[in-house]
Amino acid sequence: MTDHDADEGLRSHGGLFFPTGPALLTNSLLNKGTAFTERERDVLGLRGLLPPRVFTIEEQLRRVYGNFQRKADPLEKFIFLTTLQNRNETLFYRLVEEHAEEMIPIIYTPTVGQACLEYGAIFRRSRGLFISIRERGRVSEILRHWPHPDVRMIVVTDGERILGLGDLGALGMGIPVGKLSLYTACAGLHPYYCLPVTLDVGTDNEKLHDDPLYIGINQRRVRGPEYDAFIAEFVAAVRQAYPKALLQWEDFGNTNAFRLLRAYRDQICSFNDDIQGTAAVALAGLLGGLRLTGGSLRDQRLLFLGAGEAGTGIADLFVSALQEEGLGLAEARSRCWFVDSQGLVVRSRPGRLAEHKEPYAQDHPPVATLAGALEAHRPTALIGVSGQAQGFTREIVARMAALNPRPIIFALSNPTSKAECTAEQAYQWSDGRAVFASGSPFPPVTIAGRTYVPGQGNNVYIFPGVGLGALVCEASRITDGMFLTAARTLAAQAGEEDFALGRVYPPLSKIREVSVRIATAVAGEAHRAGLARRPRPADIEADVRARMFVPEYVDYF
């Protein structure tokens, strides 16, 4: 090491160079704060820059958890956790891992929705790359600005359909950041390998155009050939810069989400969580629900409120599962009815249907309302993916309960303010007979002396494990078969203690173990399909566990 190296705040150890002094304390991946040992403080130039007492990570954890609990407002808790993550990622992930059920609703749904709405006002430090349409021709250059050269997981959004909140443009960065935090917290993907990206192509949200704190480019959203060329440049740049990366499409509008998935799923290892992840978690909920209601999957009739990415994605995976059970494609699709803003999706509707709705257009006279569709189809399961708050009325839920001894009612829209009904409403209006799940968390409900703990049909149960499994085996692409495998694996993780509470998913406190099981199953499916670029290990599960990040401090010396 030269004197110049020391001046730049670098120290060599074992042939590796890493920052020292103040530079080390501002590196969130390496910083241990007050847990740096006496030896490390001397060698790394930290003496005097920290209080003299050396703390263990357990002692630090008690401090930060106490500070977290003193924050009364969810958004303030979100800001606190973001600040901690920016300062010390190991401690942040240890906190999230040990208090998963309390932390996940803060770092992701439902709180992340409010955080996105106020992202410009609470912006502290960038945790990802903002690439705007004005930088076409320079995407490869911008990707090289990211400090970590071996990126393996990218979550990208263009901000057009953030949760159920709509077009938030560049404010949607909170979603990729939050999703990647869950990859680490829930599946042990090392944060070094993670890259959040927002593709800023403008926004059609007039409120943002008038907002002086809006952080994105202030123009109408670019569409058509210019948009497509920008996306193509981005995908090509990712393939060149990060050839082992998995690309997750997140919160793109319906007009782009389906066609981008079709266009690129065979060009780059990628998937759309809103379409495929939501489908898997919903199918897992249905499979779990059948253990409460009885009956078989092939006997189920689904009625969807909402016919966008989530709904048709669920239907597609449900149809695939029915085909594996021997049903023909047309018969399987006939089990899925959709109600959108114009009523029941039928073939006789005037004008051209959106491409993703066409397979589920029924040969049936027009029906204007959800109640009418319910009477015509008499579903066993009612699935809300509309972003329409209170779309499931008392009359709808009561009618479902009249048609089914144990009606399956999933209100999956996020955030909480957009849920089709609350857990309390579903249980009360069905006399406690509903098998209920929601996209955002709801508290337990007590009816007639019995307490129900609603399951959260959140994609966090699926995408971290799918991504981890694909990365461990270096899958060349992600298939629908992998998501079907993930759904069945998740359904198997719910136990009798969960069903006794009316819950069709395991608790979030078990999420890392759930992710291990899903990753193992997905990697196994990739090997069976010939899509794994790494040799198959003797023990896939052991290989998965060995590659997971554990939030513990490393001794530098």
- Looking at the fold, whether 212 and 359 belong to one and the same domain comes out as no
Residue 534 DSSP symbol: S
- Looking at the fold, whether 174 and 252 belong to one and the same domain comes out as yes
- Looking at the fold, whether 95 and 120 belong to one and the same domain comes out as no
pLDDT at 11: 56
Residue 397 within any structural domain of the chain = yes
The whole-angstrom separation of Cα 87 and Cα 24 is 10
Residue 53 within any structural domain of the chain = yes
One digit per residue, pLDDT tens: the chain, 557 residues? 233 333 345 554 445 567 999 999 999 999 999 999 999 999 999 999 999 999 999 999 999 999 999 999 999 999 999 999 999 999 999 999 999 999 999 999 899 999 999 998 888 888 999 999 999 999 999 999 999 999 999 999 999 999 889 999 999 999 999 999 999 999 999 999 999 999 999 999 999 999 998 999 999 999 999 999 999 999 999 999 999 999 999 999 998 999 999 999 999 999 999 999 999 999 999 999 999 999 899 999 999 999 999 999 999 999 999 999 999 999 999 999 999 999 999 999 998 899 999 999 999 999 999 999 999 999 999 999 999 999 999 999 999 999 999 999 999 998 889 999 999 999 999 999 999 999 989 999 999 899 999 999 999 999 999 999 999 999 999 999 999 999 999 999 999 999 999 999 999 999 999 999 999 999 999 999 999 999 999 999 999 999 999 999 999 88
Residue 66 DSSP symbol: H
Both structure tokens of 84? 């901690």
Catalytic annotation present for 510: no
The whole-angstrom separation of Cα 317 and Cα 161 is 22
- Looking at the fold, whether 285 and 255 belong to one and the same domain comes out as no
Domain region containing 92: 3-101
Residue 446 contacts residue 428 (beta carbons within 8 Å): no
The whole-angstrom separation of Cα 338 and Cα 305 is 6
Q: Which long-range contacts (CB under 8 A, 24 or more apart) does 64-72 make?
A: 64/91, 64/95, 65/95, 65/99, 68/95
Question: Maximum distance among all alpha carbons in the chain?
Answer: 82
- Domain of 380: which CATH number? 3.40.50.720
The whole-angstrom separation of Cα 414 and Cα 110 is 7
The whole-angstrom separation of Cα 411 and Cα 417 is 11
The whole-angstrom separation of Cα 409 and Cα 424 is 12
Domain end marker among 221, 244, 268: 268
Residue 516 within any structural domain of the chain = no
Of 247, 132, 119, 96, which Cα lies nearest the Cα of 171?
Answer: 119
Q: Is the pTM of this model over 0.75?
A: yes
Residue 340 contacts residue 357 (beta carbons within 8 Å): yes
Please pick, among 32, 93, 108, 452, the residue that the annotation labels catalytic: 108
Both structure tokens of 539? 């023990």
Both structure tokens of 62? 């008690």
**Who's near 47: CB < 8 A, 6+ residues apart?**
41
pLDDT at 480: 95
The whole-angstrom separation of Cα 378 and Cα 367 is 14
450-452 and 336-340 beta bridge pairing = unpaired
445-447 and 435-438 beta bridge pairing = unpaired
Domain end marker among 59, 78, 101: 101
- Looking at the fold, whether 57 and 199 belong to one and the same domain comes out as no
Half-sphere exposure of 157 (CA within 13 A, CB side): 30
- Looking at the fold, whether 57 and 173 belong to one and the same domain comes out as no
- Looking at the fold, whether 208 and 292 belong to one and the same domain comes out as no
- Looking at the fold, whether 327 and 449 belong to one and the same domain comes out as yes
Residue 541 within any structural domain of the chain = no
pLDDT at 7: 38
* 131 DSSP β-pair partners: 199
* 196 DSSP β-pair partners: 155
- Looking at the fold, whether 306 and 449 belong to one and the same domain comes out as yes
pLDDT at 234: 98
Domain end marker among 101, 121, 142: 101
- Domain of 153: which CATH number? 3.40.50.10380
- Looking at the fold, whether 217 and 304 belong to one and the same domain comes out as no
Burial of 58 (0-12, 13-18, 19+ CB in 10 A): exposed
The whole-angstrom separation of Cα 24 and Cα 29 is 9
- Looking at the fold, whether 249 and 298 belong to one and the same domain comes out as no
CA distance readout (Å), 402 to 373, 411, 554: 15, 19, 59
Residue 312 contacts residue 329 (beta carbons within 8 Å): no
Burial of 107 (0-12, 13-18, 19+ CB in 10 A): buried
- Looking at the fold, whether 90 and 160 belong to one and the same domain comes out as no
Residue 491 contacts residue 284 (beta carbons within 8 Å): yes
pLDDT at 503: 93
Half-sphere exposure of 450 (CA within 13 A, CB side): 11
- Cα 526–Cα 529–Cα 535 angle in degrees, nearest 5: 55
The whole-angstrom separation of Cα 188 and Cα 464 is 9
Catalytic annotation present for 179: yes
Please pick, among 32, 77, 179, 357, the residue that the annotation labels catalytic: 179
The whole-angstrom separation of Cα 185 and Cα 207 is 34
Half-sphere exposure of 469 (CA within 13 A, CB side): 31
Residue 402 within any structural domain of the chain = yes
Of 442, 417, 423, which Cα lies nearest the Cα of 166?
Answer: 417
Buried b / exposed e over 67-84, threshold 16 CB at 10 Å, is: ebeeeeeebebbbbbbeb
Is the bond preceding 110 in cis, omega lying within 30 degrees of 0?
yes
Residue 397 contacts residue 424 (beta carbons within 8 Å): no
pLDDT at 277: 97
Residue 74 within any structural domain of the chain = yes
pLDDT at 2: 33
Q: How many CB atoms lie within 10 A of CB 538?
A: 7
- Domain of 9: which CATH number? 1.20.1370.30
Residue 522 within any structural domain of the chain = no
Number of domains in the chain: 3
Residue 439 contacts residue 414 (beta carbons within 8 Å): yes
In the numeric block, the tokens 């990366």 are attached to 245
Residue 320 within any structural domain of the chain = yes
